[in-house]
């Protein structure tokens, strides 16, 4: 087991990454400066997201999810990209970032202007029908839920926290009315990968291909704002390490990938990524 080099200086990564083509893997820590809390960062309270098996267990679980998400989405839809998102978009426009993989579901990379983003865990601004598989905008469902449950958001939004997946800590959801699919009356689910659900194989293959295109001589994998606790992101760090491609992690606190990294910068993503984007290409 190797001992990672750890620095609190955001500039520590600049020399290592200078002149290299990057694939970037981002996590919830990147979006905290946009007002979206993370799951495992310093000071985060324990969270227990709904699993896929729980969601498909029946109407009570689906009512609970959509009631909480209805409140959470009212806040999440107002989030704006922060300097970290904008820095990565600028690096992409400059040809430095060859690929961007995000574990986040908030869509803020695309809003900031990044292109070719792989939303590994899907997008919370989309809804999919589990029966007919039709994908529709989350805003359209929000309007339907508001009509079915007038005053629900206003009654709960002032006193609850919202998680990175838009789940708000609403305790009383009895009586909340859930909207079915507008095409087939099937069950609607957010178009995201729940815990216990598999990431689509083609999406995983696309990410592996991005990492495989990196070379030890002129490429690097940059991880920003992820503790790498779940395998869906850690596997790409392992792949880069096996290929001897440099790995740099920017994250507040230790990560599961530290022993695979050449450097971990213990600093905020906005600060570190803005410093990287400010360097000459």
Q: What does R_g of the chain's alpha carbons equal in angstroms?
A: 19
Annotation-wise, does 113 bind a ligand? Answer: no
Annotation-wise, does 105 bind a ligand? Answer: yes
220: closest CA among 10, 16, 37, 42?
Answer: 16
Read off the tokens for 55: 């969601």
CB contact at 8 A, 14 and 263? no
Q: Which of 70, 85, 109, 121 is catalytic?
A: 121
φ, ψ of residue 76 in degrees (nearest 5): -65, -35
> What pLDDT was estimated at residue 153?
77
> What pLDDT was estimated at residue 280?
72
Domains and CATH numbers, the chain: 6-277 (3.40.50.1220)
CB contact at 8 A, 250 and 273? yes
pLDDT in tens, 93-146: 999 999 999 999 999 999 999 999 999 999 999 999 999 999 999 999 999 999
Residue 2 has, within 13 A of its CA and on its CB side, a CA count of: 12
26: closest CA among 95, 91, 94, 93?
Answer: 91
Read off the tokens for 114: 């990044």
CB contact at 8 A, 212 and 239? yes
> What pLDDT was estimated at residue 44?
47
Specify whether 191 is catalytic: no
> What pLDDT was estimated at residue 3?
61
For the chain, list residues with pLDDT below 70: 1-4, 38-48, 155-172, 281
257: closest CA among 226, 278, 219?
Answer: 226
Annotation-wise, does 172 bind a ligand? Answer: no
Annotation-wise, does 4 bind a ligand? Answer: no
What DSSP string describes 134-186?
-EEEHHHHHHHHHHHSTTHHHHHGGG--B-TTS-B-----TTPPPP--TTT--
Residue 259 CA: distances (Å) to CA of 81, 214, 247: 31, 20, 10
d(CA 181, CA 176): 16
What DSSP string describes 68-106?
HHHHHHHHHTT----HHHHHHHHHHHTT-EEEEEE---S
Annotation-wise, does 33 bind a ligand? Answer: yes
d(CA 9, CA 69): 38
């Amino acid at each position: 087991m190797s001992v990672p080099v750890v620095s609190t200086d955001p500039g520590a990564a600049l020399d290592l990454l200078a002149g290299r083509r990057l694939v970037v893997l981002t996590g919830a820590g990147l979006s905290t400066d946009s007002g979206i809390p993370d799951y495992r960062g310093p000071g985060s309270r324990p969270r227990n997201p709904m699993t896929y098996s729980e969601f498909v267990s029946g109407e009570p679980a689906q009512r609970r999810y959509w009631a909480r998400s209805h409140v959470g989405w009212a806040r999440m839809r107002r989030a704006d990209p922060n300097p970290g998102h904008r820095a990565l978009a600028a690096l992409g426009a400059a040809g430095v970032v060859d690929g961007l993989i995000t574990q986040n579901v908030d869509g803020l990379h695309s809003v900031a202007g990044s292109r070719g983003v792989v939303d590994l865990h899907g997008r919370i601004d989309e809804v999919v029908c589990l029966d007919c598989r039709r994908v529709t905008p989350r805003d359209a469902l929000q309007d339907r839920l508001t009509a079915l449950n007038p005053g629900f958001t206003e009654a709960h939004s002032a006193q609850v926290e919202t998680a990175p997946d838009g789940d708000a800590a609403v305790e009383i959801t009895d009586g909340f009315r859930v909207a079915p699919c507008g095409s087939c009356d099937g069950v609607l689910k957010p178009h995201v990968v729940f815990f216990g659900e598999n990431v689509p194989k083609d999406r995983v293959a696309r990410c592996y291909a991005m990492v495989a295109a990196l070379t030890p001589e002129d490429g690097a994998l940059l991880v920003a704002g992820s503790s790498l606790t779940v395998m869906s992101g850690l596997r790409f760090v392992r792949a880069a390490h096996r290929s001897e491609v440099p790995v740099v992690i920017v994250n507040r606190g230790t990560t599961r990938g530290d022993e695979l990294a050449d450097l971990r910068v213990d600093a905020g993503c906005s600060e570190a990524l803005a410093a990287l984007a400010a360097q000459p290409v």
